[in-house]
């Protein structure tokens, strides 16, 4: 099992989509941001710009290539640049794609989700939580191997997998477009700070 490199990073789940608002499982289905999601991404970018020096400045943005994450990253980069930060390029990493929920995609989130996180169930044609965790850690480690602090723009289930790797309770929902500062602690348990 791959461990996270113990360096801090920013994490941002994408803004809201219509499927988020409807409580439907998205997974790899490439659903765009809705108008609320665009506003959320703008607000997240403004928050990050206002708190630019509170922790460590972002030196690069690495995003999932799915449109909801990629568009969120673009909006955040625009907001940062509009408020005095350097204009940051966005690198895409296929390893940051949301989990494949297989036959569950497009359906309402069901009672199977807890069993999936526990490792007792994988949706037909889907990806196990253990496989997702390994993929998520590898992708974030690629971003952490370079100098400076990255902003990872990604997905909700991905963050649950990363929480597991940070020795935190995994099944905690991260709201859309909430910037999260992730920092290694003195023990294996990481510290998370949400901007609001």
CATH of the domain at 55: 3.40.50.1240
Domain range for 27 is 12-144+167-176
Tokens describing residue 190: 């990481």
Whether 162 maps to a domain, the answer reads no
For position 1, what pLDDT does the model report? 74
DSSP line for 95-130:
GGSPP--GGGTTSBP-THHHHHHHTS---TT---HH
- pTM, two decimals, is 0.96
Whether 192 maps to a domain, the answer reads no
Whether 155 maps to a domain, the answer reads no
Whether 159 maps to a domain, the answer reads no
Chain centroid to Cα 148, Å, comes to: 18
3-state secondary structure of 3: coil
Whether 131 maps to a domain, the answer reads yes
Give whole-number Cα distances, 53 to 45, 57, 149, in Å.
14, 6, 12
Cβ distance 12 to 179 under 8 Å?
A: yes
Enzyme catalytic residues: 14, 98
Beta pairing class for 191-194 and 149-154:
unpaired
d(CA 38, CA 140): 24
For position 196, what pLDDT does the model report? 83
Whether 185 maps to a domain, the answer reads no
For position 110, what pLDDT does the model report? 84
Residues of the chain with pLDDT below 50 are: none
Whether 184 maps to a domain, the answer reads no
Number of structural domains in the chain: 1
Provide the 8-state DSSP code for 93: -
For position 70, what pLDDT does the model report? 98
Whether 92 maps to a domain, the answer reads yes
């Amino acid at each position: 099992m791959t461990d996270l490199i113990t360096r801090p990073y920013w994490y941002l789940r994408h803004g809201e989509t219509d499927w988020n608002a409807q409580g439907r499982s998205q997974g790899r289905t490439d659903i765009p941001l809705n108008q609320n999601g665009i506003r959320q991404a703008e607000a997240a970018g403004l928050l990050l710009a206002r708190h630019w020096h509170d922790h460590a400045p972002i030196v690069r943005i690495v995003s999932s290539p799915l449109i909801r994450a990629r568009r969120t990253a673009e909006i955040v980069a625009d907001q940062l640049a509009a408020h005095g930060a350097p204009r940051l390029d966005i690198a895409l990493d296929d390893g940051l794609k949301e989990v494949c929920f297989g036959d569950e995609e497009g359906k309402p989130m069901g009672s199977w989700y807890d069993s999936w996180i526990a490792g007792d169930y994988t949706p037909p044609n889907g990806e196990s939580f253990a496989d997702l965790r390994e993929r998520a850690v590898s992708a974030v480690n690629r971003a952490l191997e370079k100098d400076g602090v990255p902003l990872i723009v990604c997905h909700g289930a991905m963050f649950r997998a990363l929480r597991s790797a940070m020795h935190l309770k995994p099944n905690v929902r991260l709201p859309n477009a909430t910037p999260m500062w992730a920092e290694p602690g003195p023990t294996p348990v990481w510290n998370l700070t949400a901007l609001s």
